[in-house]
Structure 1
Amino acid sequence: MTRPTLFYNARIILKDTITEGGVLVESGKIKAVIPTNELSSLDKYEDYTLIDVNQQYLSPGFIDIHIHGGGGYDFMDGTEEAFIQIAKTHAGFGTTSLVPTTLTTMTERLEETLRSYESVKKYAHDGADLLGIHLEGPYFAMSQRGAQDPRYIRNPDPDEYKTLIANYKSIVRWSAAPELEGALAFGQYLVANDIIAAIAHTDAIYEDVEKANRAGYNLMTHFYSAMSGVTRRDAFRYAGVVEAGYLIDDFDVELIADGVHLPDPLLKLIYKIKGPEKMVLITDAMRAAGTSDTTSILGSYDDGMEVLVEDGVAKLKDRTAFAGSVSTTDRLVRTMLKLGNIPLVEIIRMITLNPARVMKVEADKGSIAIGKDADIVIFDDRIQIQYTMVKGNVVYERRSEINF
């Protein structure tokens, strides 16, 4: 039986404020948040593991709801080892929960990845918690494919998606282009099966997005990336998906806040219009994240695409498009802090409580609150991760920075 743990001398990031004090963890859950004045004496905690946080930040664990890989592995490798190593790699950068994400591919390859996920979920591993699978594609607009493989892009196929959903309960989210034939019925089917319907890789106009929202789509996948803005058709201007994301309050928007995919002015604009409650920070990381590789493979080794890693991002070899990020969640927080005038507590909300709400796990994750999972990250003023705990289990620590 693991001894209960008391973190003390911490700057605790709560839902709406930052306070000083301690956090008590027992049986994998947060048992108490204790003000500093009640921790003047630690004598009564002699049976606890005591951790002096040294006035560093104690935060809810970061939740990444859109991630493809890291540490030299991609979920499309379709192996248990890939899932375990990616989860372990990103835990070292503050991620305590993640949603493994696929790429556009053949149905057989999707099933291979889904089977590996469901196998890994049956036993414990030393890394971030896995919250279910996000299928990114293959129902996309060819004109907005980005780094998605054009060989496999297609319209929604009811026989295909109904079979996958029936056979794999691990599917929790699916991204598609809403203007495609059959996409509205697809969205309705997702929602009926308690699966999040998201908009991605799309050339839709505002009116298409309105219809999609009524059909159940309520999330924008990597906002701005691979989606339409204002366009002209027969001399008339039409608002696009980006404008719809701003105007329709129901939509949450994902942001690849690596400082490359979205420049500072766009991040500031999104913050000004959507506000911190509707923004979700994601890495969209591919296998080179957490490595020093300068070349890599997007997707599986046997069927993926060669990419370059430069300027802090992955690119197609011809440099015509980004091919996913090499970011980690700590980098997202640092990027948002550099903007200035955004309180740290709001930035942390974008990578903890907001994604927990979107993924419908806010009852257990996303904030430092009594009864929730003990998913905890400790970091310094530079957002350098010192310690990561997942459900009460220590999965990463830098002993030189924390007193035991």
Structure 2
Amino acid sequence: MISSDRYDGLMVLLRVGAVFSPERLETADILVAGGKIIALGNDLDIPSGWPVRVVEASHLIAVPAFIDQHVHVTGGGGEGGCGTRCPEITAREIAAMGIGTVVGVLGTDSISRSPADLLAKVRGLRAEGISAYMYTGAYRVPPPTLTGDIQRDLTWIPEVIGLGEIAISDHRSSQPRQDEIERIVSDTRVGAMLAGKRGICHFHLGDGKRGLEPLRRLLAETEIPADQIIPTHVNRHPALLEEAADYALTFNASVDVTAFEEAGDGLSSFDAVSRLLERGVPAERITMSSDCNGSLPEFDANGAYLGMKVARNTTLIADWQRLVHEGVLPLETALHLITTNVARVLGLHASKGHLCIGFDADITLLDSKLQPQQTFVAGKRIYDVNAEE
């Protein structure tokens, strides 16, 4: 449940069994104040009378709270009509998976769902303790915005950190021309520069024959740097994943794999990460996301809607755990895929993704099976598996 034990106005001292920053630290104590980590050490001595709440968790491992860069916080879907809209996600569903930060997206439906709805939901999640951001835009081009302009959205709205998810190589996309793609990416870059943000452009990849070609052309034919772009759903089918590996290696670019609950013709995020690593893609160029509360629609060969399910974030954590349990990656490296790498891609790396002095106190406590037990955001405990409903 979402805990009411927020420790407002107090310092918090976590005494844990081990700390991974993601790298293993020779420390077992984390002291938090003002939403930041202010000290790391062993057997920290706290002066008498200080307003410190101690959390004894010597049986748990402290890691950076996970970051999910692709969440349909207002619900996705709608491809089969108004009766097929997916539900909104709750703060509990986010925090229970050890996730402290999410980025909200709009997908196919930007008619009954709008950027204003998305902003309201993001602010609501923040009020409940989740660190939440959003992309302006949706599948279609020109993208819907809050102010009528991509640059103004990025410059004037703090919660907006990029553009997305723009659909390409998909029968549900608006089939944008190459010059249209270049224009919206350029607008995002300039708006982000004015706002002091990274301004990532988050591209939805469908299973169309063009694959990553629009993004390859963008990077090959313009001055846009590769770190401005993040293609997601690259594990939709094996050929696309192979193309994504070549794309990452050619442009030194990052790619995002989706934790599909039912991979179908595609690959699970576990298999996708494993194959990308086998192809020589550096682990620091791979991120994982959930597509949580988005739709998992099924279409026939002619594009007619057949049915759908709703994506959950449980698959993301399960596939990530499997990477460690089956020895594909050590814990220290696997953590980068859902913490440090994501923070860097989003431009949040100065405050999130590490357990370091001065960073946000976004901390997840895991048990020996890597299952989240407690989640702290800005030093406030927002989830405790042992708390009563």
Say if 2:164 and 2:201, in contact at 8 Å, map to a contact too.
yes
1:376 paired with 2:363, answer yes
Q: Which residues of structure 2 form unaligned runs of 5+?
A: 1-7, 79-86, 170-174, 193-198
- The aligned amino acid for 1:386 is Q
**Alpha-carbon RMSD:** 3.6
1:253 paired with 2:255, answer yes
2:30 alignment partner, one of 15, 23, 41: 23
Query: Taking structure 1 as reference, are residues 130 and 67 closer, same or farther at Cα in structure 2, changes over 3 Å only?
Result: same
- The aligned amino acid for 1:193 is G
User: What does the per-residue CA deviation read over 1:245-302, in whole Å, with 9 as the maximum and x for residues that have no partner?
Assistant: 3333432111224575324543212123222211111111116xxxxxxxxxx4xxxx
2:321 alignment partner, one of 323, 327, 334: 334
Query: Taking structure 1 as reference, are residues 107 and 160 closer, same or farther at Cα in structure 2, changes over 3 Å only?
Result: farther
DSSP-derived class of the 2:107 partner: coil
- The aligned amino acid for 1:366 is G
Moved more, 128-137 or 362-371: 128-137
Query: Taking structure 1 as reference, are residues 21 and 250 closer, same or farther at Cα in structure 2, changes over 3 Å only?
Result: same
1:316 paired with 2:298, answer yes
DSSP-derived class of the 2:54 partner: strand
2:289 alignment partner, one of 277, 282, 288: 282
Query: Taking structure 1 as reference, are residues 74 and 251 closer, same or farther at Cα in structure 2, changes over 3 Å only?
Result: same
1:96 paired with 2:100, answer yes
1:211 paired with 2:212, answer no
Match of 2:272 in 1: 266
Deviation at 1:398, TM superposition (A): 3.1
Moved over 4 A (4+): 41-47, 158-162, 317-324
Q: How does 1:184-195 map to 2 (within 5 A)?
A: 184-194=182-192, 195=199
Deviation at 1:220, TM superposition (A): 1.5
Say if 2:106 and 2:118, in contact at 8 Å, map to a contact too.
no
DSSP-derived class of the 1:113 partner: helix
Q: How far apart, in 2, do the equivalents of 1:165 and 1:134 lie? A: 7
Deviation at 1:359, TM superposition (A): 1.0
Q: How far apart, in 2, do the equivalents of 1:158 and 1:27 lie? A: 37
Query: Taking structure 1 as reference, are residues 375 and 274 closer, same or farther at Cα in structure 2, changes over 3 Å only?
Result: same
Q: How far apart, in 1, do the equivalents of 2:261 and 2:346 lie? A: 25
Say if 2:361 and 2:377, in contact at 8 Å, map to a contact too.
yes
Say if 1:74 and 1:86, in contact at 8 Å, map to a contact too.
no
Match of 1:325 in 2: 311
DSSP-derived class of the 1:55 partner: strand
Using the size of structure 1 for normalisation, the TM-score is 0.71
User: What does the per-residue CA deviation read over 1:119-157, in whole Å, with 9 as the maximum and x for residues that have no partner?
Assistant: 537xx522421122364412xxxxxxxxxxxxxxxxx33
Percent of aligned pairs sharing the same letter: 18
Using the size of structure 2 for normalisation, the TM-score is 0.74
1:364 paired with 2:351, answer yes
Q: How far apart, in 1, do the equivalents of 2:96 and 2:183 lie? A: 40
Q: How far apart, in 1, do the equivalents of 2:335 and 2:46 lie? A: 29
Deviation at 1:361, TM superposition (A): 1.0
Q: How far apart, in 2, do the equivalents of 1:44 and 1:341 lie? A: 46
Q: How does 1:293-304 map to 2 (within 5 A)?
A: 298=295
Query: Taking structure 1 as reference, are residues 257 and 207 closer, same or farther at Cα in structure 2, changes over 3 Å only?
Result: closer
Q: How far apart, in 2, do the equivalents of 1:349 and 1:251 lie? A: 16
DSSP-derived class of the 2:148 partner: helix
Deviation at 1:115, TM superposition (A): 4.8
1:49 paired with 2:53, answer yes
Deviation at 1:158, TM superposition (A): 7.7
Match of 1:304 in 2: none
DSSP-derived class of the 2:382 partner: strand
Query: Taking structure 1 as reference, are residues 267 and 339 closer, same or farther at Cα in structure 2, changes over 3 Å only?
Result: farther
Query: Taking structure 1 as reference, are residues 330 and 45 closer, same or farther at Cα in structure 2, changes over 3 Å only?
Result: farther
User: What does the per-residue CA deviation read over 1:16-42, in whole Å, with 9 as the maximum and x for residues that have no partner?
Assistant: 3344411000111100111x3x44x67
1:65 alignment partner, one of 60, 69, 88: 69
Match of 1:180 in 2: 176
Say if 2:151 and 2:190, in contact at 8 Å, map to a contact too.
no
1:165 paired with 2:129, answer no
DSSP-derived class of the 1:56 partner: strand
User: What does the per-residue CA deviation read over 1:165-192, in whole Å, with 9 as the maximum and x for residues that have no partner?
Assistant: 2564344232332883122222222222
Aligned residues: 337
Say if 1:62 and 1:352, in contact at 8 Å, map to a contact too.
yes
Q: How far apart, in 1, do the equivalents of 2:368 and 2:275 lie? A: 26
Q: Which residues of structure 1 form unaligned runs of 5+?
A: 139-155, 231-239, 288-297, 299-313
Query: Taking structure 1 as reference, are residues 190 and 271 closer, same or farther at Cα in structure 2, changes over 3 Å only?
Result: same
Q: How far apart, in 2, do the equivalents of 1:93 and 1:55 lie? A: 18
Match of 1:220 in 2: 231
Say if 1:87 and 1:129, in contact at 8 Å, map to a contact too.
no
Say if 2:137 and 2:144, in contact at 8 Å, map to a contact too.
no
